[in-house]
Amino acid sequence: MQVKKSWILLAVIAAALVASAAPAWAQAVAPKTTVPIDGEYGRFFSLPTDVSKNGHRIDNLIHWTHAFMAVLFVGWGIFFVYCLMRFRQRPGHQAHYELVHAKPSKYLEVAVLIVEIVLLAGFSVPIWASVKNDLPPADKAFRVRVVAEQFAWNFHYPGPDGQFGRTDPKLVDTATNPLGLDREGDPHAKDDIFALELHIPVNQPVICDISSKDVIHSFFLPVMRVKQDALPGMRIPVWFEAVQTGTYEVACAQLCGNNHYSMRALMYIQPATDLEAWLREKGKPPEEFVE
């Protein structure tokens, strides 16, 4: 009897400790950005808004996997709690030396294996193949080069000629030419556009070629279900297609140094006409602004 009382007391103390801390949690933190971000993020145990064509396939896989996990955990849990209550030590109760032949456990293990095979071969592998490997034809897609550096995302658009100009690390100048574009030597580089924002069209496949100038970063578009490490020395393409316009975030998902936490860019998903206007504006030679 005494034991039980002390346990209840303990639970009350624990609850009181949690409750006493409650007002402190409520301290709101002011947003650091002035640009309003679209989408919903804070829903309980939920993925953020999905604005991509392929995202729902990944979301479904995550949801089905969690449903499977929940079934396993609850099933185990019921048996576990039943055993804890039913087989507690008490006068007149003895353990059985003989071990049960637990056929159900074999079925369970086979079932786990089968479900895992289905999740992997039936869903994960095909999704991976289409979102990571099967790039859309280059002439149909909107192409951007994404060059990561400590601590910014550089976006490189090919300009009206549709060709990316040559870049050279030796030409890099943090203030005037962060990409190291060879504007003098390469005619394709003349019309190339550089920006610190990602602007992409809605309802058109986008191919981003991801690379890095210095350390490893990771290009993460939470609302697009896209993540790809940016590795120095490699250029890796990823593709996606937005189905909704709006302003969203580009995050860095790989620790890249002191200001990793602030390596954030904005992604504007726009109708094709708006995007063209923005590119035209951006592509004007800088002299015009000076004069």
Partner 1 sequence: MTEAHHHHDDHHHHPELGWWRKYVFSTDHKVIGVQYTVTALLFLLFGFTLVMIMRWQLAYPGKPIPLIGGLLGKTLANDGTLLPEGYNALGAMHGTIMVFLGIVPLIVGGFGNYVMPLQIGAPDMAFPKLNMASYWVYFCGGMVMLLSFFAPGGAANSGWTSYAPLSVVATQGQTWWLFGMVLLITSSLLGSINFIVTIIQLRAKGLDFFKLPFFVWSQFVTAFLLLLAFPPLEAAGALQLMDRLAGTSFFMPEGLVVSGIVQPYTGGGSPLLWQHLFWFLAHPEVYVLILPAMGMVAEVIANNTRKPLWGYRLMVYSVIFLGFMSFIVWAHHMFITGMGTRISAFFATTTMIISIPSVIILTALVISLYRSSIRYNVPMLFALAFLPMFAIGGLTGLPLGLPAADIQLHDTYYVIGHFHYVVAPGTIFAAFAGIYHWYPKVTGRTMNPALGKIHFVLSFIFINVVFMPMFFQGMAGVSRRLFDQTFYQHGLDVQGWTQLSSWGAWMLGLSQVPFIMNFFMSLRAGRKVSDNPWEATTLEWAAPSPPPHGNFATVPVVYRGPYEYSVPGQKKDFFPQHLAKAEA
Scanning residues 88 to 127, which ones bind partner 1 (CB under 8 A)? 88-89, 93-97, 99-100, 102, 105, 108-109, 112-113, 116-117, 119-120, 123-125, 127
List binders of partner 1 among 182-211 (CB under 8 A): none
42 near partner 1, rule: CB under 8 A: yes
**Which stretch, 33-41, 155-163, 194-202, 276-284, contacts partner 1 (CB under 8 A)?**
33-41
What is the C-alpha separation between 264 and 33, in angstroms, rounded? 10
Q: Is the dihedral of CA 27, 32, 34, 35 positive or negative?
A: negative
Q: Left, alpha or beta for 95 (phi > 0: left; psi -120 to 50: alpha)?
A: beta
Q: What angle do CA 105, 106, 112 make, to 5 degrees?
A: 85
> By CB under 8 A, how many residues form the interface with partner 1?
112
Q: Which is nearer to partner 1, 255 or 272 (CB)?
A: 255
Least Cα distance to 151 among 9, 2, 263 occurs for 263
User: What x-and-dash track marks residues 217-256 binding partner 1 by CB under 8 A?
Assistant: -x-x-x--xxxxx-xxxx-x------------x-xxxxxx
Q: What's the closest the beta carbon of residue 142 comes to partner 1, in angstroms?
A: 21
Q: Is the peptide bond before 151 cis (omega within 30 degrees of 0)?
A: yes
Is 73 among the residues that bind partner 1 (CB under 8 A)?
yes
Check residue 61 for interaction with partner 1 (CB under 8 A).
yes
List CB contacts of 248: < 8 A, sequence separation 6 or more. Answer: 37, 38, 39, 51, 221, 222, 223, 224, 266, 267, 269
141 binds partner 1 (CB under 8 A): no
Least distance in angstroms from the C-beta of 281 to partner 1: 26
State the Cα angle at 23 between 21 and 25, rounded to 5°. 75
Selected binder of partner 1 within 16, 56, 67, 83 (CB under 8 A): 83
- Among residues 1, 5, 84, 286, the one that binds partner 1 under rule CB under 8 A: 84
Instruction: Output the smallest distance, CB 84 to partner 1, in A.
Output: 7
Residue 56 sits in the site that holds partner 1 (CB under 8 A): no
Q: Using DSSP bridges, classify how beta strands 205-212 and 142-149 pair: parallel, antiparallel or unpaired.
A: parallel
Which range, of 172-180, 183-191, 193-201, 283-291, touches partner 1 by CB under 8 A?
A: 172-180
Q: Does 53 bind partner 1 (CB under 8 A)?
A: no
Q: How do 265-270 and 246-252 pair as beta strands?
A: antiparallel
Q: According to the binding rule CB under 8 A, does residue 16 interact with partner 1?
A: no
Q: Nearest Cα to 249, choosing from 31, 30, 25, 29?
A: 31
What is the residue whose two structure tokens read 């290009």? 219
Q: Find the binder of partner 1 among 162, 185, 187, 257 (CB under 8 A).
A: 257
